[in-house]
Structure 1
């Protein structure tokens, strides 16, 4: 069995120095070993905040006429973002477990947020193997929050209401949430008793991540801000703020 070993592998922790990044290798294989499926975090992006430890898995399904003997699964992203997990195989599926503690693994590393890739090496029991860089991609993101407040409440029909809010995201420099600036956010409305939110307008956050706009009140309902997300930051909706229209 030809298991690849990575120099300076860091198990379950982000390696943020150039020395921890394994040397690049071209894709390759020997024999009939093939990767058929890769799933990261159950198909969801990996979102990390400022304090809670994030645990997730990556599963690689492969095939070989002799069976699967083992695998090495690593993750890499922007900057010096790098993760190596503990991998175990059962049948044709190999699972790597990863743990990210933001205060231990992410100090001063906002630049590692973005698109990440899975690198996988799988060995067959007959000494065949397959090595594939970028076998799958996913987003490693800074957690986001969104607030809303519609006022005044109640309001007379036809009068103006002001809808404010703030879009913020985790900052791994000081482990606080800071406003996400210059981002388009949708102001949405849900009529009382309705089921579908409708977009009224798009508002851009200012230099502190704050949102502010005005609309005319016509019927009772809920107002919210909805952010679609970016590569580095997940989508988020505020809770709905109910306005009673008299």
Structure 2
């Protein structure tokens, strides 16, 4: 769901007409909840400017959010659904019944500025909010990401990297809503994979070992893995009986992601490649390949 598309579909600032739909209908599935969240984010983002107070709730529902917690990085492959746990604190006015069927809250992620986000991610179901006091609750929800399938258009390769956290609250009875932007950040990353093969096996001590492999990265648009070229990758060795890998050298993947280098056989042990990753792309270590040195 792209916020841009949601705004365009309704031609201008979004009204809360969607909230007139009974809550029971919204409970029919993730699509309805996602549409509600996208609408509220777009509506309130359109009223923000560069001078708006950071992390202040906006909307006509008197709530605020804090203590937003989510993984520091989210690895997303080319096809598989990814669901990430989120928790946060909801503070509300004393007269608001957050246990009512007409009330729900969801966490969200958005990309870009809070005044002009260009994409959003949310959950298939509302968060579960448990009362902590007359005016506070602890909420636990999820962010559901679909790189392929029904919501496959929600991620573009260029959108990998830093995303910002937000939380939404809606009350169907009063037809009011609120959103709080800038609650934190996380990395939504294109997942990486590595392979390794060390040969010959077995090998005589002092002889040359050739270590090959391939570094690949998820493509969210083709929904496949593709070789990741011109990236520094470490060749590491762990001696049999040890739990620690030592870096032997750093090489670069070729234009197709292929890796190849040589080293000397010194002792029985495991060879692996290790990629540190970067903002848009996850780090990865491959399971070591054992070589018997005779």
Shorter-chain TM-score bucket reads 0.7 to 0.9
**Aligned position for 1:50:** 78
Contact 1:12 1:98 in 2 (8 A): no
Distance in structure 2 (CA, Å) of the matches to 1:169 and 1:183:
11
- Offset of 1:206 from its aligned partner? 1.2
- Offset of 1:143 from its aligned partner? 1.8
Distance in structure 2 (CA, Å) of the matches to 1:229 and 1:59:
27
Per the normalisation by structure 2, the TM-score is 0.67
Deviation readout 1:18-66 (Å, 9 max, x if unpaired): xx85525334359x976441112xx352222222222223221244684
Matches within 5 A, 1:69-108: 69=98, 71-77=105-111, 80-85=118-123, 86-88=125-127, 89-91=129-131, 92-104=137-149, 105-107=151-153
Q: Which of 202, 224, 227 pairs up with 2:250?
A: 202
3-state SS of paired residue (1:103):
coil
Matches within 5 A, 1:102-181: 102-104=147-149, 105-107=151-153, 109-121=156-168, 132-181=180-229
Distance in structure 1 (CA, Å) of the matches to 2:67 and 2:17:
23
Deviation readout 1:191-229 (Å, 9 max, x if unpaired): 011111111111111100111111111111100001112
Distance in structure 1 (CA, Å) of the matches to 2:195 and 2:287:
7
More strand as a share of residues: 1
Distance in structure 2 (CA, Å) of the matches to 1:117 and 1:6:
27
**Aligned position for 1:126:** none
Unaligned 5+ residue runs, structure 1? 124-128
Distance in structure 1 (CA, Å) of the matches to 2:166 and 2:92:
18
- Offset of 1:115 from its aligned partner? 1.0
- Offset of 1:68 from its aligned partner? 8.4
Per the normalisation by structure 1, the TM-score is 0.79
Unaligned 5+ residue runs, structure 2? 1-14, 19-30, 99-103, 132-136, 171-176
Distance in structure 1 (CA, Å) of the matches to 2:248 and 2:267:
14
More helix as a share of residues: 2
